[in-house]
Structure 1
Amino acid sequence: MPLQIFNTTKRTIDEALLAEAIQLVIGEEGGKVGSIEAIYCGNKMIRRINRDFLNHDYATDTITFGYNEGGEVEGEFYISLDVIESNARRFGVMFEDELLRVTIHSALHLMGYDDETPELRIAMSRREDLYLDRIRGASNH
């Protein structure tokens, strides 16, 4: 089962662009897409997952579970479109750009990147910027 994208909300998202971003990150980081599920949901679902699996009783932008075995990248991630929307307003960016950034962030987590410390967060943010620029450049031609 290759990359699958599920949108459990009524909001329209550019699934083709998000899939392209995931595949770009995995490929450029030296991985091969195995079975990856990208689930775009609302706060209710992500809060339940956060509580049930991580013991955090709040909504968050993304939760990633990596199951890499062998040479293929496998896993799933959940992204709350509600949190993306509020973060986009807070950061003064477009919803689509914030969604793309967090999707790239989640794909980087699947590739083993971590953001537990300020230094790791900075390194991960730089990778996000690199891929955002690459995707924006490709879609502007």
Structure 2
Amino acid sequence: MALPHLALSLQFARTPEATAHRPVLARHRVARWVRHALAADAEITVRIVGADEGWQLNRDFRQRDYATNVLTFDYQQAPVVLADLVLCAPVVEREAREQGKTLQAHYAHLLVHGTLHAQGWDHETSEQDAEAMEAHETAILARLGFADPYAAGQG
């Protein structure tokens, strides 16, 4: 099965937190993880940011006063997915450590998660939607060689 085409822009903010994660986020890896979560061709920007930028974006666009792991800005879902995914490096690193996962496994999960959001998946609408999204994420990550991201200590 051929994967959808992806035009990927990968950006790292000029902060020590974001640039420290470059080795884990090689372009070919990020593209592979995102493409496996796509159901259609896409143009996606992935930006790795520090705590300040992550906090400002979450505050300004979601009215939540903290930095979160991933923010998805979806602009178009068809015929081509157009989106920005913003991942906050220090939050991702802290969560990976707390969950007993590798940094790479947690980034893969969050990129798949954000890519699904860009295509209309939503885990906040109902418990049934959350279960469906988690099952889809788990299946995608298994195909990529990662353990179930919702199982404790996996990664």
TM-score range, shorter chain: 0.7 to 0.9
Deviation of 1:2 after TM superposition, in Å, equals 2.3
Residues 77 and 118, structure 2, Cα contact 8 Å, conserved in 1: no
C-alpha deviations, 1:71-101, integer Å up to 9, x for none?
1000111011111111111111111101110
Give secondary structure in 1 for the equivalent of 2:19.
Answer: coil
Q: Which amino acid letter does the alignment assign opposite residue 83 of structure 1?
A: V
Q: Once superposed, what is the RMSD of the aligned Cα atoms?
A: 1.7
Tell whether 2:111 aligns with 1:103. Answer: yes
TM-score by length of 1: 0.86
What's the counterpart of residue 127 of structure 2? 118
Alpha-carbon distance in 2 for matches of 1:4, 1:50:
21
Which aligned runs of 4 or more in structure 1 are off by greater than 3 angstroms? Answer: none
8 Å CA contact 1:36, 1:74 repeated in 2: yes
Structure 2 residue runs of 5 or longer lacking an equivalent are 1-5, 147-155
TM-score scaled by length of structure 2: 0.79
Q: Which residue of 2 aligns with 1:79?
A: 87
The superposition leaves residues 22-59 of structure 1 with CA deviations (integer Å, 9 ceiling, x where unpaired) of 11211xx2x111x2111111221111001111111101
CA distance in 2, matches of 1:77, 1:95: 17
How many Å separate the matches in 1 of 2:140 and 2:80?
A: 20
Distance in structure 1 (CA, Å) of the matches to 2:130 and 2:77: 25
Change (3 A) 1:69 1:133: closer
| 1:1-141 superposed matches below 5 A | 2-8=7-13, 9-11=18-20, 12=22, 13-26=25-38, 29=39, 31-33=40-42, 35-68=43-76, 70-116=78-124, 117-136=126-145
What is the deviation of 1:69? 5.6
Percent sequence identity over matched residues?
A: 24
Alpha-carbon distance between aligned partners in 2 of 1:23 and 1:121, rounded to the nearest angstrom: 21
Residue 118 of structure 1 and its aligned partner are, at CA, apart by 3.0
Where structure 1 has 5 or more consecutive residues not aligned to the other structure, the ranges are: none
